[in-house]
Structure 1
């Protein structure tokens, strides 16, 4: 085994991972252009602090840097006829037999150029079969350059024709009739029942009084308890703000709520004892010693004894959670595939998502080579590879905790596929969910073998029912590339007017409002213990956690941006511009909630975020339900700021002008 790479070889926070020097003899190196889905970040800027939250989340106005540039488009009469035909829905070239007359130049303003750059118009402009395909010529001219030759553009991407009936008018109905029907079944929580004829808002105290008075039958009392639990949606005010010196990518509670882990871009996974969910204690941290770009995912074994975590490598680290066990993590090579599977595969690939099976014997992984892998821990080899997608597999999970046979996989090819390992002799999927028009970022199973939730770059989360999936035969007749624009979510804002509903959508409910931008943002089902399975929730690029009822109505929002804004001083030594452009007064405070986890037994949500000045650092914020109160007389005080070890740090409370020391130099070693 090669020695561990030195710190100089690990990409720094400002490096583009595709340009970092590497050793070609390093067996752990894998540099694939198709595997950088969560690696390349186009800078986005926020406004000044005085412009409010919305300004902090705005994208960079590149028009400020344009000067002396104009676009001249020469259109012949024949081209005009073609455009008229396309607008009328007719592809025929009525003027094809006529000799084209000399065209006239049309000059486009700088503002119009930026409109093209702001959404899919630029892609459509240079797409094959687009304006170039209709014999239009686009040239970028400099004021001082009289050469009309210009620089050519290679047409790329599929031809996408805008269909009628799109935009916001095509959004699914809210509240959703299908979702309301599900809410009435009791599968997703209980419904409130009127106990008297008084028309008033029943707060928690009223419901507690009714319970203590013993009004109603035993069934009514149980229903009252469930209704009280599900009404305790955590508040935006954060009890604790845990600050990291690098971006935080994910964090989850264990199934029993006694354990929490967070994954950061410094290749560390921190573990916390949350047996008392209101008083966390630092447990231990483990390191991915030669990771690429970041830790992409982690999964805890069902018995809480082992933690598996991955990077953009084919290796998964398996570390014990025992704080007294300081041994190095075991390396699970997912490229070591069983000889019983003769299918060819790539030797190296990045791993985007991993999950333990319910019995703790296997780990399933979604990878950058468009495949799903199943790894047997005891045999120390991959026993199954499913090359079942056309693009990166960003998310995987098991259908339920009792059986390892049913797998779900979500991909950038816009599909969510179902795999039954008991009938995969020919490698065929059991079924396909169609409905997302852009790539999927996350998949979560309710654990009952029936319902599954997904997040997509089309800015929607969708609920699916296993009984309504498309068969492989039906899905194969659908050209999935005909219903996507390949939206570049890492650098652009999504334009709702470009939305087109998928004609083969088989989802039950569609949830909207959050922003799935810049990174693979995650969504989840709420737990049965603390919420009665009443909600689904998701992180968002705008710095909030969105909580929905099953009928797609918004049940609540947890504003992490508001809770954390300016919670650490601006450090001039931190290179925030490596992620986001400076504003006029420097980088703005920005927040992107990438993941959130609802405690299984208490009304607590822990949100892991890219956070800070220019989102160059990270936080894990702990939000509890406090019945709308802004202050708490208990200890510790609401809004306390701590470092990764949960230690009080005075530097977090200093004004910006007083902070002149380098955070990385002063950070306490938590190994």
Structure 2
């Protein structure tokens, strides 16, 4: 089953109308998912427009049936989308590559281009405490990815080399990180290649990495040995993700060859995927899974984000019979996302074998491998999907592809730190003439509180990059009487910065 689409046309003065067939918004398939209860609660029992304050009062008074109170609680959680006004802006001297909360929300890590990871105690999500920095001693160009072990005790982080670093997250453990070399060694030499993505297996025993060799590597941490090296793609593997956090078996890989492959780690030795998804027409930048063994989300350089259902994956035989990758085989050279803007009229087309459920559009994927995620069940009732963007915003969508919120990270950061930037003479303009100011590469949504952190790049007038991690929370007004005050600017160790 393919996602439905409707054909529209666009034209310019230089030529005839060009057919475009972007999937319609709202998505009918997405609306079915919203009504199913799989992604948040359905609002069919009562009007969704009731204010949050009224819902809280109803709950305290015990009004309505148990089912109505359950629906009301879910709708309150779904309504609490963080807003543009920042709680706090953490400033770094280099770009922030990625940042996420631990599964229990007790700490946050920020990976920065200077090959260092900062860790923060977020037991109180509105009043953070810095506790340590760990380094990557073999860094090349930037840090690329990071992932927490299932018990949250270890952080694996990577760069454009074949080495994975493991650092303890315990604030009292100040030892050096462990190094795991996923490359090949001989008596006289060793191989080296970039790692773009790394994930712990559900049992915490292995690390799976996506590499610049168009391959996936499975590495046994305890035995320090490579178990599998699967060359299953035709281009860089930019993302890997497990279908179920508790299971080490079903694995996804997303590549610059425009495909998502499905793997069973118990049969990786035959080098043959268990299935595939096709539908993107430019390279994949990121994958996230809902953690239920069924739904997976992808971001891509064709400026779309897509939702997929494992039950609809093409079998390997079906993929070959359809020759489903033929239409995108030469896409690697069609668009250089690091330098050029995407011209949809010239480059985008509907994939004839698209087996995605829902397509999301509006954000911009450029310069870097921008990430996307499912919203957490604890703070949003799993109602949304979201992505960073080249235009300095966080885009939050409903499952029917309608936009639920757009958080202006660039504007928030500029407003909060504008005076300090003006005195430093920073103009925040891209050297190609396109305003950047802030590029949001990753977004971490707190698992239980209605707040998120946007990890971003900034550029000054000399082409030098800095970075920010901007904390945004749900707030019905522009002011908050609680302490600490909203809008504060701090350095990487959370010391206040002069305005």
TM-score with structure 1 setting the length:
0.68
Deviating more after overlay: 321-330 vs 270-279: 321-330
Kept after mapping to 1: 8 A contact 2:230/2:268: no
Does residue 384 in structure 1 map to residue 228 in structure 2? Answer: yes
Distance 1:648 1:208 in 2: 35
- Per-residue displacement from partner, 1:542-599 (whole Å, max 9, x unpaired)? 000000010101111111011001616348989999x93286xxx9661100000110
Q: Does 1:166 align with 2:19?
A: yes
> How many angstroms does 1:486 deviate by?
2.7
The 4+ residue runs of structure 1 with deviation greater than 6 A are: 571-577
Q: CA deviation at 1:515?
A: 0.3
Partner of 1:19: none
Aligned residue among 278, 303, 316 for 1:472: 316
Partner of 1:297: 145
Matched ranges for 1:332-481 at <5 A: 332-336=180-184, 347-476=191-320, 477-478=322-323, 480-481=325-326
Is contact 2:215–2:231 with CA below 8 Å preserved after alignment?
yes
Tell me the alpha carbon deviations over residues 145-183 of structure 1, each in whole angstroms, 9 at most, x when there is no partner: xxxxxxxxxxxxxxxxx9x9633xx11011101001111
Call closer, same or farther: CA 1:375–1:221 in 2, change over 3 Å.
Answer: same
Contact in 2 for aligned 1:576/1:616 (Cα 8 Å)? no
Confirm or deny that 1:276 pairs with 2:130: no
Match among 383, 399, 402 for residue 534 of structure 1: 383
Q: Which residue of 2 aligns with 1:264?
A: 112
Name the residue aligned to 2:71: 223
Q: Is the 8 A contact 1:337 1:384 kept in 2?
A: no
Specify which structure has the higher proportion of strand.
2
Alignment of 1:489-638 (within 5 A): 489-498=337-346, 499-565=348-414, 567=417, 569-570=420-421, 580-581=430-431, 590-613=437-460, 616-627=465-476, 629-638=477-486
By how many angstroms is 1:283 displaced?
1.4
Instruction: Indicate conservation of the 8 Å contact 2:144/2:197, yes or no.
Output: yes
Q: CA deviation digits over 1:322-353, x for unaligned, max 9?
A: 22222111110111599xxxxxxx92110001
Could you state the TM-score of these two structures normalised by the residue count of structure 2? 0.90
SS in 2 for 1:189: coil
Question: Distance in 2 between the 1:255 and 1:322 partners?
Answer: 15
Say which is worse superposed, 309-318 or 611-620, in terms of deviation: 611-620
Name the counterpart of 2:4: none
1:574 and 1:504 mapped to 2: Cα distance? Answer: 51
1:184 aligns with 2:23: no
Distance in 1 (alpha carbons) for counterparts of 2:92 and 2:75:
37
Structure 1 residues 411 and 555: alpha-carbon distance in aligned structure 2, compared to 1, 3 A threshold: same
1:215 to partner: Cα distance: 2.5
Q: Secondary structure at the match of 2:438?
A: strand
Retained in 2: the 8 A contact 1:588–1:613? no
Distance 1:576 1:214 in 2: 54
What is the DSSP-based 3-state SS (H/G/I as helix, E as strand, rest coil) of the residue aligned with 2:471? strand
SS at match of 2:73: helix
Answer with 532-541 or 207-216: which moved more. Answer: 207-216
Match of 1:644 in 2: 492
Give the deviation of 1:640 after TM superposition.
0.3
Written as runs of structure 1 = structure 2, the 5 A alignment for 1:62-211 is 166-167=19-20, 170-195=21-46, 201-211=49-59
8 Å CA contact 1:410, 1:417 repeated in 2? yes
Kindly provide the CA deviation profile for residues 425-459 of structure 1, in whole angstroms up to 9, marking residues without a partner as x: 42110001000000000000111111000001000
Cα displacement (A) at 1:399 = 1.1
In structure 2, distance between residues paired with 1:489 and 1:387: 24
The number of residue pairs the alignment matches comes to 476
Contact 1:565 1:612 in 2 (8 A): no
Where structure 1 has 5 or more consecutive residues not aligned to the other structure, the ranges are 1-111, 122-161, 339-345, 654-671
Matched with 1:317 is 165
Asked if structure 1 preserves the Cα contact closer than 8 Å seen for 2:185 and 2:191, the reply is no
Q: 1:194 to 1:589 in 2, by over 3 A?
A: same
Secondary structure of the residue aligned to 2:257 is: coil
* 1:288 paired to 2:136: yes
Please say if residues 246 and 617 of structure 1, whose CA atoms lie closer than 8 Å, have aligned partners that are also in contact.
yes
Q: CA RMSD in A?
A: 2.5
Q: Contact conserved, 2:220 with 2:227, CA < 8 A, in 1?
A: yes
